[in-house]
């Protein structure tokens, strides 16, 4: 006897994470009337949090308790697309990345039109990579970055000392260069969102009591070679990690809820394992490593300044 009537099968989603959500939803034999696709990242980003969301889920404060949402290291915005907060400030020091979000928010059809002609071919990739972005329109620049991200090696964003994207061609068989539905969904969720090119400290200087701040900085490396931190030519070193910990303390004093991801390196314990924060171990997989044997499971930390369930700032 099939568990569900036949008429629900036409709406089974094709992506694994959607399928899992769909199955969880159906556990109590509740049949969805229509399957609603959810916005999700349209860029692949080193340190992206999409796969960790199920582990993070119990720690997100309830929507009704949350004021504005700040995400100052936005990358591919996995947590933002998951939470879809009503009032959000998204920021990153990478101006090209923020421009892509602005273009997708304000002119998604122009971005889609500019993406469609791009092809997954090595010679063509290097031609596009060599283009002078200043000679393109904003929509064309956004499409160029999305194209390079979908077809480059490991979907990695890396700049040289002149601030130029310098990742080689990736040799994916059939990358989805133009996912129109995903871009349109992202555009809807980005309406009304404030986007900023800024250092994290400036972004959260206006956060107030009741606001939620999610920090996902470049991680403290577990060893000299283990972590990818070259998102930007300025890097993110120990002084930045210490500055971030001071900012977290200041937000805590102001009554903001803070959630922070980082590695389980000794410096992270030194900065946050002081009784004022909750340190939750999270199991992750590291993908950005040229050596396949170093891509296995790794323990990371989710650091909270509030207690789940009570949700009060500690």
Ligand X SMILES: C[S@@+](CC[C@H](N)C(=O)[O-])C[C@H]1O[C@@H](n2cnc3c(N)ncnc32)[C@H](O)[C@@H]1O
Binding site for ligand X (CB under 6 A): 45, 47-49, 72-73, 75-76, 78, 92-94, 199-200, 216-218, 231-232, 236
What phi and psi, each to the nearest 5 degrees, are found at residue 303? -115, 130
Nearer to ligand X, 117 or 235 (CB): 235
As measured in angstroms, the least distance from the Cβ of 38 to ligand X is 15
Provide the angle, in degrees to the nearest 10, between the axes of the packed helices 95-106 and 138-151: 110
Please give the full DSSP string across 179-206, using - where no structure is assigned: -HHHHHHHHHHHTT-EEEE--HHHHGGG
Q: In what order do the strands lie in the sheet with 212-215?
A: 194-197, 88-92, 69-71, 212-215, 257-263, 297-304, 278-285
How far CA 83 is from CA of 80, 118, 141, 217, 237, in Å, comes to: 5, 31, 28, 19, 29
Nearer to ligand X, 176 or 233 (CB): 233
Nearer to ligand X, 77 or 143 (CB): 77
Alpha-carbon gap, residue 19 to 22, rounded angstroms: 5
Q: Which two tokens stand for residue 103?
A: 């273009």
Give the Cα-Cα-Cα angle 149, 112, 172 (nearest 5 degrees): 35
Nearer to ligand X, 170 or 218 (CB): 218
As measured in angstroms, the least distance from the Cβ of 124 to ligand X is 26
Nearer to ligand X, 2 or 98 (CB): 98
- Residue of 269, 265, 253 whose CA lies nearest to 303: 269
Nearer to ligand X, 16 or 135 (CB): 16
As measured in angstroms, the least distance from the Cβ of 92 to ligand X is 5
As measured in angstroms, the least distance from the Cβ of 236 to ligand X is 5
Q: Whose CB is nearest to ligand X?
A: 75
As measured in angstroms, the least distance from the Cβ of 82 to ligand X is 9
As measured in angstroms, the least distance from the Cβ of 257 to ligand X is 17
Nearer to ligand X, 122 or 166 (CB): 166
As measured in angstroms, the least distance from the Cβ of 81 to ligand X is 9
Number of alpha carbons in the 13 Å side-chain half-sphere of residue 68:
17
Collect all residues with Cβ–Cβ distance below 8 Å to 25 and sequence separation of at least 6: 32
């Amino acid at each position: 006897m099939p568990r569900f009537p036949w008429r629900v099968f036409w709406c089974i989603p094709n992506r694994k994470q959607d399928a899992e959500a769909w199955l969880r939803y159906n556990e109590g034999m509740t049949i969805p009337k229509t399957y609603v696709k959810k916005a999700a990242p349209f860029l692949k980003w080193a340190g992206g949090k999409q796969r960790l969301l199920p582990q993070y889920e119990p720690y997100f404060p309830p929507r009704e308790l949350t004021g504005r949402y700040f995400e100052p290291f936005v990358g591919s915005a996995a947590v933002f697309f998951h939470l879809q907060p009503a009032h959000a400030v998204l920021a990153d020091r990478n101006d090209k990345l923020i421009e892509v979000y602005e273009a997708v928010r304000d002119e998604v059809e122009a971005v889609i039109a500019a993406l469609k002609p791009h092809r997954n071919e090595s010679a063509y990739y290097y031609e596009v990579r060599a283009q002078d972005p200043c000679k393109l329109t904003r929509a064309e620049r956004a499409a160029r970055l999305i194209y390079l991200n979908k077809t480059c090696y490991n979907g990695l964003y890396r700049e040289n000392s002149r601030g130029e994207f310098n990742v080689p061609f990736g040799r994916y068989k059939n990358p989805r260069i133009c996912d129109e539905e995903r871009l349109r969904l992202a555009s809807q969720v980005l309406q009304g969102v404030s986007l900023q090119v800024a250092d994290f400290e400036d972004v959260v200087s206006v956060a107030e009591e009741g606001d939620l701040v999610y920090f996902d900085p470049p991680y403290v490396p577990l060893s000299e070679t283990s972590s990818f931190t070259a998102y930007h030519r300025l890097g993110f070193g120990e002084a930045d990690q210490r500055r971030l910990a001071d900012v977290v303390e200041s937000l805590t004093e102001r009554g903001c809820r803070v959630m922070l991801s980082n590695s389980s390196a000794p410096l992270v314990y030194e900065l946050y394992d002081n009784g004022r924060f909750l340190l939750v171990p999270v199991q992750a997989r590291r993908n950005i490593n040229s050596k396949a044997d170093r891509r296995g499971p790794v323990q990371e930390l989710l650091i909270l300044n509030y207690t789940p369930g009570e949700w009060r700032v500690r």
